[in-house]
Chain A
C-alpha cells in the first residue's frame, strides 16, 4: 500500500474511531440509572461535562504527533488542537449553563468557595482552562520565549487534567459503577501517557537536532 493510500485510509478511519471513542462515555453516562427520568437540563449538563473530559484527553494526544494522527490530519494537527480548545471551552460553558438552568441556587453554591471539594476542583479546572486559552493568545506579547511558553502550557495542561479528572472521579452520579470508573481510569491513563510521550519525544528530537548541529559545525580534519 502506498503512503498516499495509507494517508487516505487513515484520514477516513481515524476521525470515525475517535468520535466513537468519545461517544462511549457519553452514552454510558446518559444511560445510567442515576439519570432515569432526569430533565433535559441535567442530561445536557452530564453529556457536555463527560464530552469535555473526553476531548481533553484527545487534546493532549495531539502535541505528541503520533504517526497515526499525522497520517490522518497531516499539517492540520495544531489547528485541530486550537479547534478542540475552543470546543472544550464551549462545552464547559454549556455544562455550567445547563446546571444553572436546572437549579440556579445549587449552581451558584457549587461555584462558591464554600462548595464541596469536588465542585472547587471543577472551578479550578475551568479557571486553568481559561488561563491557558488567554495565555495561548498572548504569550508572545508577554515576552515569553517558546521554551517558557511550552513549560507553562505543560504545567497548565497537567493542572487542567488533574483537577478535571479529580472532579470526575469525586462527583457521585452518572459515571458511578464499574464501567464509568473504568472509563475514567482509562482516560486518565491515556492522558498521562500522552503527556509523557510528548515530553520525551520532544526532548529526544531536541537532542537529535543539537547533535546534528554540532556535527555540522565541527571543522573537518
Chain B
C-alpha cells in the first residue's frame, strides 16, 4: 500500500514536471513567434527629403532589405514607362553634398500592365545638372503582398544603392533621394 502510494506520488510528480515543461515550451514558442513577427522592420520608407539630407551633412543612403529582388543590371535609359505615378528625387555625393549629374537611376515595379520582370516596367533615367531625376510609370500594384517600387542607383561610379519602397497603390508620386558614397 505504501509502495503504491509512493509510486503514485512519483508518477504524479513526473506528470507535473511534464506539464510544466509543455507549458514552458508553449510560452517560449509564443514569445518567439511574437518577437520574430513584430521585432523586425518592414517596408522601406521614402526617407529624408533633399533639404533634410543637406541639413544632415549628406550621410550615405542605405539599401533596403529586398532592394535587389528582380534586379537586372544596365537597364536601358529611356523615357517614361507609363502615366499615373511620378518617381523623382535628387542624387548627391556623400560628404560634399554636391549634386551628381548623369547618375543613372533604375526603376522597376509591378503595374497593371505586367510584373516586375516585364521589360516595359523597367527603365533607367539620368540625373540633370542639379542632380535631379524624374520618370513616370503606370501606378504600382501589389506584388508579393504589398505595392512596392524598386529605385536603385547602379552605374558603378559610386557604391550602388537599392531601395525597395512600399507605397499605396493609389499614390501618384514617390520622392526618394540618394546620397552616394564614392567607391572604395
| A positions within 8 Å CB-CB of B | 34, 36-39, 42, 99, 102-103, 105-107, 109-110, 112-121, 124, 128, 143-145, 147-148, 151-152, 155-156, 159, 163, 170-173, 176
Contacts and interface: CB of A to CB of B under 8 A. Distances in A.
A103 B144 contact: yes
Chain A contact surface mostly: helix
B146 A103 contact: no
B22 A151 contact: yes
B22 A106 contact: no
B82 interface: no
Interface of B: 15, 18-19, 22-23, 25-26, 29-30, 33, 36-38, 40, 42-43, 65-66, 68-71, 112, 114-117, 141-147, 166, 169
B166 to A, nearest CB: 8
A172 B142 contact: yes
Given A42-B115, A117-B38, 11 more contacts: A103-B144, A118-B145, A120-B36, A128-B33, A145-B15, A152-B22, A155-B30, A159-B29, A159-B30, A172-B146, A172-B147
B117 A114 contact: no
Nearest to A113: B40
B25 A112 contact: no
B53 to A, nearest CB: 24
A105 B145 contact: no
A110 B19 CA distance: 36
| Residue from A37, A119, A170, A171 whose CB has the most chain B CB atoms within 10 Å | A119
Given A116-B145, A117-B40, A143-B18, A106 B25 contact: no
Contacts of B19: 147-148, 151
Contact of A105 (B18, B70, B114, B166): B70
B114 A103 contact: no
B142 A34 contact: yes
B116 A103 contact: yes
A40 to B, nearest CB: 13
Contacts of B117: 103
